[in-house]
Amino acid sequence: MATHTYALSINYNAGGQFCTNVVHYDFDDSGYATTTAAADALIAGFNTNVKPALALMLPTATTFLSAKARAIHQPGGFESAFSYAPGTTGARAGALSVSGVGPCLVFIPGGNAKERGRMFLPGVTDSDMQDGFFTPAFIAVVVAQAATVITPFTLAGGTTPVASLVIAKRAAPFLTRIVSHVLLCEYPATIRRRQIPA
């Protein structure tokens, strides 16, 4: 068994600004001929199992651009890339709020591990916020869909391994923790640090 960690980058355009989420998955890639094939399977599995839930939390002003994946246990650039069809957007209707403001999901591993992960969702609508707070209706949607985001999923091919969302600690010694819980931050987060010119 060869369980390795793969980085998956999801790229968006949120109201004219480029945004990226980077998440990590652990799975047994020994059944694939190459890490490129394993990365292809990860993107396909993500698009089938996670992307629909992610889209339900994002505004229609946020467009999915591409997804890229690669193994991080060995050197090299991105090994697999997928371009979304033009017009692939989030599902939340309403005008986009201020650029760089959005919900933040906090990933919590099982057991008593201290590591935490974060995922800044690119964009939130004015109708999903009131007086600087998320509306109860939006919170209910995020809580339901975030549970799907952290649920492990089975990949096609390669003896059908199960990919688990993990928190990856890059500093030596490298380690990963499987995510078992997710929380929505009470307050909106700013993601300007992750934005680069389009």
What's the pLDDT tens digit per position in 61-82? 999 999 999 999 776 656 899 9
Report the pLDDT averaged over residues 98-115: 86
**Angle, alpha carbons 58-123-94 (nearest 5°):** 70
**Strand, coil or helix: what is 48?**
helix
Q: What is the pLDDT, as a whole number, of residue 191?
A: 64
SS3 state of residue 14: strand
pLDDT at 189 (0 to 100): 86
Domain extent, residue 167, equals 3-194
pLDDT at 197: 47
Phi–psi pair at 103, nearest 5 degrees: -70, 155
Whether the per-residue pLDDT at 132 is higher than 90: the answer is: no
Check pLDDT > 50 for residue 198: no
| 10-35: average pLDDT | 92
Angle at 68 between CA 65 and CA 91, to 5 degrees: 35
Structural domains counted in the chain: 1
Highest mean pLDDT out of 15-19, 114-118, 157-161, 189-193: 157-161
